[in-house]
Amino acid sequence: MAFFLVNPHPISHYWKTHYADHTFRNVYRWNVFDVSLLVPYFLVMLVLAFYGIHRYQLVWLYYRNRRKQAHSAEPPAHFAEDDLPFVTIQLPIFNEQFVIDRLMAACCRLDYPRDRFEIQLLDDSTDETVEVARAMVERFASGTEGLAPQPVHYLHRTNRHGYKAGALEEGLKVAKGELVAIFDADFVPPPSWLRQVVHHFAEPGIGMVQTRWTHLNRHYSFLTQVEAILLDGHFVLEHGGRSRAGVFFNFNGTAGMWRRQAIDEAGGWQHDTLTEDTDLSYRAQLKGWKFKYLQDVECPAELPIEMTAFKTQQARWAKGLIQTGKKILPSVLGSDAPFHVKLEAWYHLTANISYPLMIVLSTLLMPAMIIRSWQGPLQMFLIDLPLFMASTMSVSSFYLVSQKELFPGRWYKTFLYLPFLMALGVGLTITNTKAVLEALVGHKSAFARTPKYNVAKKGEVSQAKKYRKRLGIIPWIELAIGCYFAGTVWYAVTTENYFTVPFLLLFVLGYWYTGLLSLLQGRFERSGTRSAELHEKPYPVGI
């Protein structure tokens, strides 16, 4: 069929009588070749479309269940002041000397009775952070930091067995709290955080309460602004939609509080995945514990300021979720949970499989364009447009809605970032595909921390060199793939297939943007300009 549509000339009597048999054999071979490429191409597009439709579903769940949103000021029950539970705050760190002072100072200023409260600094560091952290704890414990003596404890391990999960488990062995709050090194909890969260544990059966991340350095660079939008989508629509609908959702590893009993009954912290937080979350919810998400409680943190750091973070999350899916999904699917809970868990834990599928799509795109060069506007409208709307447009609408919820007066500015946001998602496919494939084949890897630098001013990255890492050949692969897609753009223009050009340009921009920033990170460090100090504007908002 493809042969005749590409060559729609009248069939002459001569051709019929002399070459029919030979040509029909060629047509058959062309059809087999075409089908062998187009079938996987459309299957991949279809699977990606299903995951795209799921984003629309999360938006629908978010709005449909708006009345079920949990609010910090309206817990079903309250603890009396004299009955406030004892809280252990765990601060797991690893080689993070630039941010631990800020973190410890914020935790020591939390509004909570000091006789009902302790702080554990869980240090797995192997560099000078050890001396910095130990001296800092001694200062806060002795009251020489301008505060009264604080109930802080320093626990240092000489090995990283179990990584972050191992450090948390080690701290629990000596923890006094019936409730456990956890903050990563780059977070700065506001003084009211504990009191906003703790009263929700007066409700029986609540095992964990998660709060929303905000961003200390949102306006540091164009990259951090795009990262902020990506995280906002997760914390508004994914967490918001799932928590309101009563399906399983996850603790994010930080800026949340656990009931110690829920951790113990779920089997404790385990380190056979890179997302120990999601793993424990699902095990606890399978045991019947309920989770709450407080969207109105903010906990600011530092965003990665370099592309390689961002890639490392995203790859760890992608690999960890697939590992958790392999481990947990059989239990979820075999449980007594309702079907819609199981389906949402499936979408949640397998979503990163879209990255390898994007690689397949990238490989097949040019051949599919050549084979389908006979298509007219009608076929494009009936076949490609619905798949494009489901698999691609859902991304933009997802993040637009999240910004509208957070910043109703200025959300429209998000339109300026949408092409780059979508392109950045494309550019992550190489590193995240590698991570997903490693998870699928069972390849283990170390917990790769995300470097934090306590950036206070725009362009201030002088400390970044200490923990900066390169990604080897991967940036060059990204640039090469970007060149391949530039070729597809040229082909689309020369064949007047203009409908695909904007879509293809996203691939070019994404691969070149991530590749170039990875290679050139640190080359354009600037002196600080207009940004204010963090203590002057601690919680940047808006776009």
In eight-state DSSP terms, residue 234 is I
pLDDT-derived band at 117, boundaries 50, 70, 90: very high
Categorize the per-residue pLDDT at 21 as very low, low, confident or very high, splitting at 50, 70 and 90: very low
Q: Which of 503, 326, 520 shows the shortest CA–CA distance to 425?
A: 503
CA–centroid distance for 45 within its chain: 22
3-state percent helix, strand, coil for the chain, nearest multiple of 5? 60, 10, 30
Q: Which two tokens stand for residue 483?
A: 């060149």
pLDDT digit string, tens, across residues 378-431 = 555 555 666 666 666 788 889 999 999 999 988 888 888 988 998 998 999 999
Provide, rounded to the nearest whole percent, the portion of the chain with pLDDT above 70: 83
Question: 186 catalytic, yes or no?
Answer: no
Q: Which of 34, 123, 124, 232 is catalytic?
A: 124
* Reported pTM: 0.87
What domain count does the chain have?
1
Tally Cβ neighbours within 10 Å of residue 364: 18
Distance (Å, rounded) from C-alpha 432 to C-alpha 356? 8
- Pick from 542, 480, 536, 489: which is nearest to 511 by CA? 480
Mean pLDDT over each residue of the chain, to the nearest integer: 85
Distance between CA atoms of 12 and 523, rounded to whole angstroms?
66
d(CA 203, CA 142): 36
Identify the band that residue 143 occupies on the pLDDT scale cut at 50, 70 and 90. confident
Greater model confidence, 363 or 63: 63
- CA 421/CA 212 separation, integer angstroms: 21
Query: What's the start-to-end Cα distance of the chain, in Å?
Result: 51
Average pLDDT (478-490) is 93
What tokens does 276 get? Answer: 């120990």
Q: What is the DSSP string of 37-73?
A: HHHHHHHHHHHHHHHHHHHHHHHHHHHHTGGG---TT
Helix (H, G, I), strand (E, B) or coil at 441: helix
For residue 66, give Cα distances in angstroms to 59, 69, 73.
11, 6, 16
Phi, psi of 173 (to 5 degrees): -65, -30
Question: Are the beta carbons of 507 and 419 closer than 8 angstroms?
Answer: no
pLDDT of amino acid 388: 64
Asked if pLDDT for residue 324 goes beyond 90, the answer is yes
Is a pLDDT exceeding 50 seen at residue 107? yes
What share of the chain has pLDDT > 90, as a percent?
Answer: 60
Phi, psi of 471 (to 5 degrees): -115, 25
- Look at residue 454 in the predicted model and tell me its pLDDT: 77
* Sign of the torsion formed by the C-alpha atoms of 106, 110, 114 and 116: negative
| Euclidean distance between CA atoms 12 and 390, whole angstroms | 44
- Which of 123, 184, 186, 277 is flagged as catalytic? 277
According to DSSP, the residues that pair with 291 across neighbouring strands are 208
The total number of residues written for the chain in this structure: 543
Q: Is the dihedral of CA 124, 130, 132, 137 positive or negative?
A: positive
Q: Which two structure tokens, joined as six digits, stand for 444? A: 């283990």
Beta strands in 338-422 (DSSP E): none
d(CA 96, CA 523): 23
Active site residue 232: no
- Check residue 268 and give its pLDDT: 97
| Enclosing domain of residue 157 | 1-543
Question: What one-letter code names the amino acid at 538?
Answer: P
Helices (H) and strands (E) in the chain, counts: 20, 7
Q: Look at residue 457 and tell me whether its pLDDT is greater than 80.
A: no
Confidence of residue 449 (pLDDT cuts 50, 70, 90): confident
Q: For residues 43-55, give the mean pLDDT.
A: 89
- pLDDT, tens only, 362-380: 888 888 777 766 655 555 5
Closest CA to 186 of 121, 91, 283: 91
CA distances from 316 to 38, 351, 435, 493 (A): 33, 14, 7, 38
Contacts of 218 (CB under 8 A, 6+ apart): 224, 225, 228, 303, 540, 541
Task: Give the model's pLDDT for residue 415.
Answer: 87
Q: In what order do the strands lie in the sheet with 290-301?
A: 152-156, 117-123, 87-93, 179-182, 256-259, 206-215, 290-301
Q: Output the domain CATH number for residue 413.
A: 3.90.550.10
Position 16 scores a pLDDT of: 39
Average pLDDT over residues 113-137: 94
pLDDT digits (tens, 9 = 90+) for 168-217: 999 999 999 999 999 999 999 999 999 999 999 999 999 999 999 999 99
